[in-house]
Structure 1
Amino acid sequence: MFDEDGTLDPLLKFLLYAVITLAVGKMLWEWLAEDVGQRITGDLWGLIADQLPVLLLLVRILSFLFGANTYADADDMFVAPSGDAIEADVLTFKMKQLSSMSATGFEQACTDLLARDGFRRPRRVGGAGDLGVDITARDDEDRLLIVLCKQYQSPVGSGHLQEFNGTARPHHGADLPIMIALNGFTQPAIDFAQHHQLILMGRPELKRWAHGEYLYDVLGIQSTAQ
Structure 2
Amino acid sequence: MYDDSSFERWLKFGLGGLFALAAAKMFWHWLTQDVWHWITADVWGWITEHPWWSALIAAPVTLFVLAFLVGLFLPDDAVRVYGGAEAEQEEPLGLTYSLDQLAAMSPAGFEQACADLLARDGFLRARRVGGAGDLGADVVAWDAPGNKIVLQCKQYARPVGSTEIQTFNGTARPEHGADTAVIVGLNGFTTPASHFATRHDITLIGREDLESWAQGEHLYLVIAEERSAA
User: Per the shorter chain, which TM-score range?
Assistant: 0.5 to 0.7
2:182 is equivalent to residue 149 of structure 1:
no
The 5-angstrom pairing of residues 79-158 of structure 1 reads 90-158=94-162
Larger-gyration structure (1/2) = 2
1:151-170 deviation line (CA, Å, top 9, x unaligned) = 00000000000000000011
In structure 2, what is the Cα distance between the partners aligned to 1:179 and 1:109? Answer: 14
TM-score, normalising length: structure 1: 0.58
Give the corresponding residue for 1:165: 169
**How many angstroms does 1:179 deviate by?**
0.4
Give the corresponding residue for 1:189: 193
What 5-or-longer segments of structure 2 have no aligned partner? 1-92, 226-230
RMSD: 0.9
Alignment counterpart, residue 206 of structure 2, candidates 202, 206, 210: 202
Secondary structure of 1:142's counterpart equals coil
Q: Kindly indicate which of the two structures has a greater share of residues assigned to helix.
A: 2
What 5-or-longer segments of structure 1 have no aligned partner? 1-88, 222-226
Give the corresponding residue for 1:211: 215
Supply the AA of the counterpart residue of 2:218: Y
**How many angstroms does 1:181 deviate by?**
0.4
Secondary structure of 1:167's counterpart equals coil
In structure 1, what is the Cα distance between the partners aligned to 2:114 and 2:192? Answer: 25
In structure 2, what is the Cα distance between the partners aligned to 1:121 and 1:137? Answer: 5
1:107-153 deviation line (CA, Å, top 9, x unaligned) = 00000000000000001000011000000000011000010000000
How many matched pairs? 133
Secondary structure of 1:131's counterpart equals coil
In structure 1, what is the Cα distance between the partners aligned to 2:145 and 2:205? Answer: 21
Give the corresponding residue for 2:28: none
